[in-house]
């Protein structure tokens, strides 16, 4: 029997002639349950965090009056890119749920092991890239806030014509959005790693 055919029951090292059907069914149910719960929980948590981050970023983008500090634009760009990666992760979590039904329905061939692993790997890479970009944005805006705090001159508070040199709502919006996006990628990564760990058990 070829390795490709052995991939379907998630047992590359044991041929179908020596593996009991019951053990195959148990293994498939375990992978299916992992896909189901990781997809369901990950999907809703990521959707919630993505919606909150989208609202926060929308408020930051329309707040043009406080966007005078250098680096704020880069932070916004990183946050938006991280949010796009999070949307991709949400789509993958939704696909996990669709794949899980194929493991539980009778007379339905489940996805091959290679296909499942490839999707999980794509999800992990997407979460890593999105988290990395969001961390860069968060570090940038955190540096801007720190520099504003250290250079704060109390005498300018009532004399300054603009509040871009002080910590303002725009800075807080971006920081909050980056944190939520990173949390969303963390949830997606944990779910994907859990699925990956269940495949070969």
Please write the tens of the pLDDT for every residue from 131-153: 999 999 999 988 888 887 777 65
pLDDT at res. 92 = 95
pLDDT at res. 5 = 36
pLDDT at res. 69 = 65
DSSP per-residue codes, 86-101: HHHHHHHHHHHHHHHH
pLDDT at res. 84 = 96
pLDDT at res. 56 = 92
pLDDT at res. 83 = 96
| Segments of the chain with pLDDT less than 70 | 1-24, 64-70, 152-167, 201
**pLDDT, tens digit (0-9, with 9 covering 90-100), for 149-181:** 777 655 554 455 455 566 677 888 899 999 999
* Sequence spans of domains, the chain: 26-150+163-199
State what percent of residues in the chain have pLDDT above 90.
Answer: 42
Angle subtended by helix axes 113-150 and 72-104, to nearest 10 = 160
Residues with Cβ within 8 Å of 169's Cβ and at least 6 positions away in sequence, in order, are 59, 63, 66
pLDDT at res. 19 = 45
Alpha carbon distances (Å) from 172 to 63, 77, 135, 145, 153 = 12, 15, 15, 9, 20
């Amino acid at each position: 029997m070829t390795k490709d055919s052995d991939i379907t029951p998630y047992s590359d090292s044991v041929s179908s002639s020596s593996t009991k059907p019951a053990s195959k069914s148990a293994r498939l149910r375990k992978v299916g349950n992992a896909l189901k719960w990781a997809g369901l929980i990950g999907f809703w948590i990521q959707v919630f965090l993505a919606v909150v981050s989208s609202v926060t970023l929308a408020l930051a983008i329309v707040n043009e009056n406080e966007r005078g500090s250098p680096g704020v634009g880069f932070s916004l760009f990183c946050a938006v890119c991280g949010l796009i990666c999070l949307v991709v992760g949400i789509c993958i979590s939704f696909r996990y749920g669709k794949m899980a039904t194929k493991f539980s329905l009778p007379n339905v061939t489940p996805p091959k092991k290679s296909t499942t692993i490839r999707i999980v790997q794509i999800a992990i890479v997407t979460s890593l890239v999105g988290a990395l970009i969001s961390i860069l944005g968060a570090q940038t805006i955190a540096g801007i806030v720190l520099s504003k705090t250290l250079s704060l001159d109390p005498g300018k508070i009532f004399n300054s014509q603009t509040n871009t040199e002080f910590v303002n709502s725009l800075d807080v919006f971006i920081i909050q959005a980056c944190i939520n996006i990173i949390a969303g990628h963390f949830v997606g990564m944990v779910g994907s790693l859990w699925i990956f760990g269940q495949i070969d058990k």
